């Protein structure tokens, strides 16, 4: 079984500042890693995913994440945030290599960007 | 539209009432998922279909929950004798293949409130 821990439930930050949202996972099998964003009253939208290869993954809206196998982490970063980045961010894993397609999510991190 | 559509968007049910939640996936998508998102939590897996076959229902919390996808397209999640703990947002997602590295597209969800 897999589990995902998002260490910060809320992250306030000023506009144009950098931000890092932390994610750690636990799994006995290889996993794929995902970050989803949820704007108010919207469904989840995929930001980026790590399947294999380069450990630095770039996604939409200027976000990137780095997979660290030894630390079982997949932290999300953006060098300069905008007001419009205010949303809830979810880290998720799924079993790799023919495993179940279901996603296991963390509890989410609410990012608030202040002017 | 081209996205995953869920109806109704909001549902208020009296305790003990039966409810049915509908999901229209993206046309041609093979896989369909249901997740439950309680307030302040990440989505939790309920069940998974590949075409009309329900391959995993391990996340359904009790036998009051039932899901079907009879023609491999539209799916319905039914909750019998609703309880207050069933209050949550129910998310539907679909993906184009049966592989765990494929992006899942989420609907906006149905917010169920049991009073």
Q: Which of B33, B42, B106 sits opposite A106 (nearest CB)?
A: B42
Q: Which of A4, A42, A96 sits opposite B100 (nearest CB)?
A: A96
In whole angstroms, what is the distance from residue B31 CA to residue B95 CA?
A: 5
In this predicted model, what pLDDT tens digit does every residue of A33-86 receive, in sequence order?
999 999 988 889 999 999 988 999 999 999 999 999 999 999 999 999 999 999
C-beta separation of A107 from B40 below 8 A:
yes
In whole angstroms, what is the distance from residue A61 CA to residue A47 CA?
A: 8
Give chain B's mean pLDDT.
Answer: 94
Q: Are strands B105-106 and A64-68 parallel, antiparallel or unpaired?
A: unpaired
pLDDT value at position A11? 98
In whole angstroms, what is the distance from residue A66 CA to residue A64 CA?
A: 7
In whole angstroms, what is the distance from residue B98 CA to residue B108 CA?
A: 22
Taking the Cβ of residue A100 and every Cβ of chain B, the question of whether any pair is shorter than 8 Å is answered with: yes
pLDDT value at position A9? 96
pLDDT value at position A98? 65
Taking the Cβ of residue B39 and every Cβ of chain A, the question of whether any pair is shorter than 8 Å is answered with: no
pLDDT at residue B37 tops 60: yes
Instruction: Please tell me whether residue A61 adopts helix, strand or coil conformation.
Output: helix
Give chain A's mean pLDDT.
Answer: 93
Taking the Cβ of residue B2 and every Cβ of chain A, the question of whether any pair is shorter than 8 Å is answered with: no
State percent of chain B over pLDDT 70.
Answer: 97
In whole angstroms, what is the distance from residue B65 CA to residue B108 CA?
A: 20
pLDDT value at position A99? 64
The residue count of chain A comes to 115
H helices of chain A, in order, are none
pLDDT value at position B7? 97
In whole angstroms, what is the distance from residue A53 CA to residue A31 CA?
A: 13
A94 contacts B100? CB cut-off 8 A: yes
pLDDT at residue B1 tops 70: no
Q: Which of B95, B105, B109 sits opposite A101 (nearest CB)?
A: B95
Tell me which of A41-45, B7-11, B34-38, B62-66 is least confident.
A41-45
In whole angstroms, what is the distance from residue A108 CA to residue A73 CA?
A: 15
Beta partners for residue B54, in sequence order = B49
pLDDT at residue B48 tops 90: yes
pLDDT at residue B103 tops 90: no
In this predicted model, what pLDDT tens digit does every residue of A85-115 receive, in sequence order?
999 999 999 988 766 788 999 999 999 999 9
Kindly indicate the confidence band of residue B49, based on its pLDDT and cuts at 50, 70 and 90. Answer: very high
Within 8 A by CB and 6+ apart from A42, the residues are B108
B109 contacts A101? CB cut-off 8 A: no
Within 8 A by CB and 6+ apart from A16, the residues are A80, A81, A82
pLDDT at residue B59 tops 80: yes
């Amino acid at each position: 079984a897999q589990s995902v821990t998002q260490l910060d439930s809320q992250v306030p930050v000023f506009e144009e500042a950098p931000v890092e949202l932390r994610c750690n996972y636990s799994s006995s099998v290889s996993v794929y890693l995902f970050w989803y964003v949820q704007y108010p009253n919207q469904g989840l939208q995929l930001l980026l995913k790590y399947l294999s290869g380069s450990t630095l993954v770039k996604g939409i809206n200027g976000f990137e994440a780095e997979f660290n196998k030894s630390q079982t982490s997949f932290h999300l970063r953006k060098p300069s945030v905008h007001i419009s980045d205010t949303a809830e961010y979810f880290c998720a894993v799924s079993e790799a290599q023919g495993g179940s397609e279901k996603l296991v999510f963390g509890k989410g991190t609410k990012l608030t960007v202040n002017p | 539209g081209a996205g995953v559509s869920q109806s109704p968007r909001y549902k208020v049910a009296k305790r003990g009432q039966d409810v049915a939640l509908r999901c229209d996936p993206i046309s041609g998508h093979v896989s369909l998922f249901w997740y439950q998102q309680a307030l302040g939590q990440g989505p939790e897996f309920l069940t998974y279909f590949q075409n009309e076959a329900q391959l995993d229902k391990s996340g359904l919390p009790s036998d009051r929950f039932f899901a079907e996808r009879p023609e491999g397209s539209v799916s319905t999640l039914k909750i019998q004798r609703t309880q207050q703990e069933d209050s949550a947002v129910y998310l539907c997602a679909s993906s184009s293949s049966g592989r765990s590295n494929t992006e899942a597209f989420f609907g906006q969800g149905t917010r169920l409130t049991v009073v």
